[in-house]
């Protein structure tokens, strides 16, 4: 999980990115990723959810491809 490393004014939206290796029928729902994927211990999932729960307004998958290397 990543966030933009720039201080933005309080009125600007925040951008959080989850990097997920492609898996058929994978979910991009942050709640399911945090609590059902097994990637996070419950305490860490609770901590991250507390930071995210009031912030996200949309979920948008961005397909990525490797280049130059």
Q: Across the chain, where does the E strand assignment appear?
A: 2-3, 16-17
Q: Please give the average pLDDT of every successive group of 10 residues along the chain, which has 69 residues.
A: 82 77 75 88 94 78 78
Picking from 37, 22, 28, 20, the residue whose alpha carbon sits closest to that of residue 56 is 28
Q: In the prediction, which pLDDT does 69 show?
A: 65
| Structure token pair of residue 18 | 């989850």
Q: In the prediction, which pLDDT does 46 show?
A: 95
Residue with tokens 């307004």: 57
Q: In the prediction, which pLDDT does 64 show?
A: 78
Predicted model pTM:
0.53
């Amino acid at each position: 999980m990543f966030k933009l490393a720039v201080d933005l004014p309080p009125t600007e939206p925040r951008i959080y990115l989850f990097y997920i290796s492609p898996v058929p029928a994978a979910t991009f729902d942050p709640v399911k990723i945090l609590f059902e994927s097994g990637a996070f211990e419950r305490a860490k999932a609770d901590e991250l959810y507390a930071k995210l729960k009031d912030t996200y307004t949309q979920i948008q998958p961005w397909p990525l491809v490797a280049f130059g290397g």
